[in-house]
Amino acid sequence: MKTENSAVSKMPCLWNLRAISIGCLLLVLPACVKVEIPPDVLPPEQMASILVDIHLLEGRRSGDKVLYSENHLMEDYYKAIFEKHSITDEQYRRSHHFYTQYPDLFSKIYDQVIGDLQLLQVEITDPTAPASDDNF
């Protein structure tokens, strides 16, 4: 009788293992699917460039609360970023929303953003580094 009870008690364990395996497969499969970017969404390279400028602006904002404390000033700065990149606020918002739906893709964009910001940091801290004209 002990063998019957032990066999029955192992059955739920096997079902849990199968459920966990299926769950892991369902999590991994979407990462393997190539995401098609709609035509009304900014390409990843352009999105990364815009995000670099936005993070530079936000960094300046946090560094100088008095200068950037008024919201209408921030709106003007964002408009300048969008004009620099020849896009509208709506294009940026639509693209940002799209990329937030695909974390793997957005992560790759942010890898580029971080790399670009690190290069800018080197240019600023190393006087012998070549200057970039892309700074906002």
pLDDT tens digit sequence for 90-118: 999 999 999 999 999 999 999 999 999 99
Query: Rounded to whole angstroms, what are the CA distances from 17 to 9, 23, 24, 72, 132?
Result: 14, 10, 11, 56, 54
The whole-chain average pLDDT of the chain stands at: 79
Query: Rounded to whole angstroms, what are the CA distances from 81 to 46, 62, 92, 97, 109?
Result: 12, 17, 11, 18, 18
pLDDT over threshold 60, residue 3: no
The two structure tokens encoding residue 29:
């499969």
Residues 6+ apart with CB under 8 A from 91: 40, 42, 82
pLDDT tens digit sequence for 68-90: 556 677 888 899 999 999 999 99
